[in-house]
Structure 1
Amino acid sequence: MDVVQELGEDALSKDLTGEIKHEKRHFASGAYSDVYGGDWTDASTGRVTRVAIKVLRGITDNETGLMKTRKMIRREIAVWMGLEHPNITPFLGVVTGFGPLSAMVSPYCSKETIVRYTLENPVVDRLPLILGVANGLAYLHSLNIIHGDLKGDNILIDDDYSPRLVDFGRSRILGRRGFTDAPTVPKRYMAPELMVIPDDITTADRKIEIYAFAMVVIEVCILADFVDNSGRINFVVLQILTSKPTFLVFLHQHYAAMLIQGGKRSGNARCLPTHFADEIWEITKDCWHDDPQARPEMAAVILRLEEMRLKKSRAA
């Protein structure tokens, strides 16, 4: 039985097999998947939509491996298909033909990832982008869903220049059996408590993801002066010197990682756009607080970002 059949009628109604023509080569890759471009012709309306098709990699005929991969797909679809928000990439359906299991279909975002977009458009206003990410994350948290892999590479920019969260393969649902695995946050976005006592961390925690949000803010706001001539963040080391211990930001292929010497972080942010660097920096510091309980909820972060937006609109 395929993943779609296991999920029931809702998933079956989203089977787009036969309506999609896909390209032979993938245009993007993740840790566990490849993404192909394609065109979906809606059978009911005739409308053609450019789509992205996520195909899990490394699927074999081994029954144990198939069961594990089937579970991964089933979990991701179960979370993703129920989401509807302007800052969440929509789940359009599934398609077969890429192997023994279904592939997942979503709209194609031509502006690529949020980090690539901001690097290629250095004068773009970052505040609406950060606010959009915050709204998408707050929506997930309101449903007791933890994204589980929040980073710049998993935030796309749509044709309306709005950020949309994508890739729910590591998502977890608080209090729901089978969806509360231990956190698998990438190390560059990992909260300190995960590095120190990962075995003692209970199922998912919103405060862990608040820390990852702070890392995304740094990624989005980083100035082009701190990347190499190719326009890519590639082993760049930013050294910000203040009266406090040195604060190093390591950036590699759109990832950001913080190394704190002496347990303190800098109070300065020379790598950020100056017109709102201090305010953004204060929000970021609160979100990456060493004490998880001291980190704000996303609703509180959104209020502060909205205040910044209103202040900016009044000054315009």
Structure 2
Amino acid sequence: MKRIRVSGRLVDGVAATINRRVSREAKIWHSLRHVNVQPFLGVVDVPDETYLVPPWMKHGDLHHFVTSRLEFLRLSQEKQDALGTRAILYRSFKEHDVIIGIASGPAYLHANNVIHGYSKAPNILLDDTLHPKICDFGLTNVMHTEYAFTSVALKGAGFCRWMSPELLKEDESVVKTTASDVYAFGMTIAEILSAQFPFPHLRSALSVVLAVTSGKRPPFEPLSREGQQFQDLWSLAASCWTPDPRPRPTADDIVYTLGGEYPKNQEVNQAVPCVAARVSYDLGEEQRRGSIADTTMPFMSIFRHFGPPRGLTRAVILALTPINP
């Protein structure tokens, strides 16, 4: 789950504004339909906190997967074989195919006037068949002026390793664009091929910012230097890193270069039976009557797939009732 915490001690009106923005972002995420975009199931509200609920992804995030796979590749053949199905999974991982999927997601988003803004391997999940799903749409920005707003999350230093140089300048008028998404995609390619964060030798955010703004980029350190494919993928990543955003390829260009299908051919129909999710709090009857929220989400058991939010077992009760049995 994606947790967004709103403190009750905020200045009057600020919490309400944040809640409206969260609601708007949730609606945007829910409207997206693409095989490489993480589906959105619904919202769970508890006092001072909101949970955005996606489906469970068995293999977790991409960064964790590639770093675990690196440890696997360092094992002897005998120890690898002893891992059974896990060994089969790691050996079936194809960097090129995963990168095509990751590129297709932003291409679809950009075609729908949505900028993800925080593309990196930890924000990409892998399903049962290792298809990548872009997630964390609680951090998106929408290009239409009528929907434009700053993310509810603070602009943390933790993302600076994937941020384009124009975003790192001291100019508040500079906003995230499709070109900055493409830059982050290039850094994600490096992350996949090297199984480590960009600029792993730099410990502080300030060091990363100084390196990027001075023109430095990650060195060529893929897990395997053999084969033209890795060279081509690294060259593609480098084309996304230009200091000037204008020469960077578009997400559509990247998909075409990689030999994938254009995103318009990959939309999926996610129509499924729905349920009404009633969120009830551990409050008095009068308070509870005004606090219960109704939403719709695909038919499933939240507890079975996700488990209750940690520490909130007394605060929230989810009762799922089919709308159309």
TM over 0.5: yes
| TM-score, length of structure 1 as denominator length | 0.64
Structure having the larger proportion of residues in strand? 1
Q: Which residue of 2 aligns with 1:297?
A: 250
- Provide the C-alpha distance between the structure 2 equivalents of 1:83 and 1:261, rounded to a whole number of angstroms: 34
Structure having the larger proportion of residues in helix? 2
- Provide the C-alpha distance between the structure 1 equivalents of 2:221 and 2:51, rounded to a whole number of angstroms: 43
* CA drift at 1:178: 3.6
Relative distance call for 1:257 and 1:217 in structure 2 (3 A) is farther
Higher relative contact order (CA 8 A, sep 6+): 2
Percent identity reads 27
- Provide the C-alpha distance between the structure 1 equivalents of 2:215 and 2:134, rounded to a whole number of angstroms: 31
Number of residues of Structure 1 aligned to a counterpart in Structure 2:
229
Give 1:107's aligned amino acid: P
Q: Which residue of 2 aligns with 1:198?
A: 171
| TM-score, length of structure 2 as denominator length | 0.62
Q: Which residue of 1 aligns with 2:125?
A: 156
- Contact 1:145–1:172 (8 Å) recurs in 2: yes
* CA drift at 1:54: 2.6
Of residues 114-123 and 84-93 in structure 1, the stretch that sits farther from structure 2 once superposed is: 114-123
Give 2:132's aligned amino acid: P
Structure 2 counterpart of 1:283, from 211, 232, 236: 236
- Contact 2:61–2:126 (8 Å) recurs in 1: yes
Q: Describe the SS at the equivalent of 1:294.
A: coil
Q: Deviations over 1:151-203 (max 9, x none)?
A: 111111112211101111221121232425499582111111122353242x4
Structure 1 counterpart of 2:211, from 259, 268, 271: 259
Q: Describe the SS at the equivalent of 1:199.
A: coil
Equivalence map 1:144-293=2 (5 Å): 144-181=113-150, 184=155, 186-201=159-174, 203-223=175-195, 236-237=200-201, 250=202, 259=211, 263=215, 265=217, 269-274=220-225, 275=227, 276-293=229-246
Q: Which residue of 1 aligns with 2:25?
A: 76
Q: Deviations over 1:247-305 (max 9, x none)?
A: xxx489xxx98935963557x62334323221011101110111100000011111111
- Provide the C-alpha distance between the structure 2 equivalents of 1:262 and 1:77, rounded to a whole number of angstroms: 37
Relative distance call for 1:95 and 1:187 in structure 2 (3 A) is same
Q: Is 1:107–2:58 an aligned residue pair?
A: no
* CA drift at 1:143: 0.3
Q: Which residue of 2 aligns with 1:126?
A: 95
* CA drift at 1:59: 3.1
- Provide the C-alpha distance between the structure 2 equivalents of 1:261 and 1:191, rounded to a whole number of angstroms: 9
Gaps of 5+ in 1: 1-52, 228-232, 238-249, 308-316
